Structure 1
Amino acid sequence: MLKRSLALAAGFALSLTATLASAADVLRVSAIPDEAPTELLRKFKPLGEYLEKQIGMKVEFVPVADYPAVVEALATDRLDMAWLGGFTFVQVHLKAKDAIPLVQREQDAQFTSKFISADPAVKSLADLKGKTFAFGSISSTSGSLMPRYFMLQDGIKPETYFSRVAYSGAHDATAAWVQAGKVDAGVLNASVWQKLVDSGKVDIGKVHVFATTPSYYDYNWTVRGSLDPAITAKLKAAFLALDPAVPEQKAILDLQAASRFIETSPENYKGIEEAARAADLLK
């Protein structure tokens, strides 16, 4: 009986070790759901394949239900890397100080949000008093936090200025709501707006941009602090090596709406943290 018990214990230990080893061989990656799940997967597939070759391990995309789920999973080491907005990075960093922002797109150092409307009479926020307005997700930097911050600086408190404030959940959904007349106006990030225009998914004959926010830092790729430093170094090198002069790599950059990736640091997001505290989104 003793020999049998020892054999079963050994077998269990080997099975557990094999399971952990298997998990360790997979880089678990996710992204804030700021667009439709199918679009996020489409954008990530070629990037994931590129990263697998560069770091020598399997890369798996893990979809999540909402923004808080990405924050919690990365902060508790259930994800290895995630594409975060400025605000979600701040949230992760407050929960896990060792989280490392690896890279950002060149554009993310000067990011903006676009205010849009399907009403040709709307030329500014002054024309929207008493009308309906849509943000993206409440946790979105470019679809909620920073536009709200700049409105507050101009003396506009959305909940009292507009007749109704709604949250679409994603940038592309905000554009669809405005185009369909569900709200009088909305705000979304400049990158998604341009992609929707280029792909014909928004009719610029019906929907127009009437204002643009000042610039701010936004998105980045962040890894958990406990990730093997050798893997972290390989990932950073892989992103920085993406070259728009190489057709296959330009295709990857185009899907990420990036001209190229550059290094970033936690200090770049101090302004986002200040804006979040001013909006009472951080305690």
Structure 2
Amino acid sequence: MTRPFSPIRALKLALAGAALALAGLAQAQAVFKITAIPDESPTELARKAAPLVKYLEQKLGTKVEFTPVSDYAAAVEALANKQVDMAWYGGFTFVQASIRSGGKVVPLVQREEDEKFRSVFISADPAIRSLADLRGKTVSFGAQSSTSGHLMPRSFLLQAQIDPDKDFKRVAYSGAHDATIAAVASGKVDAGALNISVWEKFVADKKVDTARVKVIFTTPAYFDYNWTVHSDMPAAQREKIAKAFLDLSPATPEGKEILALQRATRFIPTQASNYKGIETAARSAGLIK
């Protein structure tokens, strides 16, 4: 028996169909967005991100998009406000994001190198051979929120009884590690502090004259960079992302390329407690109130 035509039932069916269509469209258009602190030039960040984006698209089964940000603070805000799904942070920006989000960010993985990361102080002045020689000089850090380009170098200076704000002739902020090298090499500043892996990359690529610019101090080790997500992300999604990084291997052409660009031997799991030392250093240096 044929049911009589019902305008209300027809409307309900139409709305249900439209909802299904919209859900399908939303799923098809879903984009997994990632960002990174701008600790190197925009072109270098884009070059490093390209093969990783392609790899994650395969592993996650969705479109992945690298979204650059203007500064470190923007990287913190982007994840805290869920404008991106995942961010590459230094230890200090992770701490800032954790505070900003009320503890609602989770570090998933870090490079093996980030368990024992270091910073270097460099100078082209032959008279500068130690941290003590920096007194009365112009010294450049990277970005103010940089872990390896500012916070930890400042922390180790303070431990050596050297207060940058009182003992240096001038404190400069280059904004990025490669810019710090350029400032020292050009003589704009007497010395600079930066991420050891960027320094080693410049040396390996012969982009810096090591007959002139030399390392005068290498810091003790500390925890640094990680890939972080918002805690509202479902656990299954987090596990899928972490596995994608942990599966990267130099034994495959794809893994070899990505790991080389990320300056990593491999990725390993990490946890928020690893960065308590960074938070303590930031509070001691007056960078977190």
Q: Which runs of 5+ in 2 are unaligned?
A: 1-7
Query: Is this contact kept in 1: 2:132–2:162, CA < 8 A?
Result: no
TM-score (norm 1): 0.92
In structure 2, what is the Cα distance between the partners aligned to 1:14 and 1:250? 41
Alignment partner of 1:50 out of 48, 55, 75: 55
Alignment partner of 2:157 out of 151, 154, 160: 151
Alignment partner of 1:263 out of 263, 269, 283: 269
Q: Which runs of 5+ in 1 are unaligned?
A: none
In structure 1, what is the Cα distance between the partners aligned to 2:226 and 2:27? 28
**In the superposition, relative to structure 1, how do residues 15 and 248 fare at CA in structure 2: closer, same or farther (>3 Å)?**
closer
Alignment partner of 1:38 out of 15, 35, 43: 43
* Identity percentage of aligned residues: 59
Equivalent residue of 1:281, what SS?
coil
Per-residue Cα deviation, 1:131-188 (whole angstroms, up to 9, x for no partner): 1000000000000000101111111110111100000000000000000000000000
Q: Greater CA radius of gyration, 1 or 2?
A: 2
Q: Which residue of 1 aligns with 2:33?
A: 28
**What aligned pairs does 1:141-180 form with structure 2 within 5 A after superposition?**
141-180=147-186
Question: How much has 1:124 moved relative to structure 2?
Answer: 0.5
Query: Is this contact kept in 1: 2:79–2:86, CA < 8 A?
Result: yes
Question: How much has 1:282 moved relative to structure 2?
Answer: 1.2
Aligned length, in residue pairs: 277
Per-residue Cα deviation, 1:68-123 (whole angstroms, up to 9, x for no partner): 00101101111100100000000111223231101000000000000000112211
Q: Which residue of 1 aligns with 2:70?
A: 65
Equivalent residue of 2:65, what SS?
strand
Equivalent residue of 1:194, what SS?
helix
TM-score (norm 2): 0.90
In structure 1, what is the Cα distance between the partners aligned to 2:178 and 2:212? 15
**In the superposition, relative to structure 1, how do residues 19 and 205 fare at CA in structure 2: closer, same or farther (>3 Å)?**
farther
In structure 2, what is the Cα distance between the partners aligned to 1:191 and 1:279? 24
In structure 1, what is the Cα distance between the partners aligned to 2:80 and 2:36? 13
In structure 1, what is the Cα distance between the partners aligned to 2:286 and 2:151? 10
| Residues 1:199 and 2:205 aligned together | yes
What do you get for the CA RMSD once the two structures are aligned? Answer: 2.1
| Residues 1:136 and 2:142 aligned together | yes
Q: Which residue of 1 aligns with 2:97?
A: 92
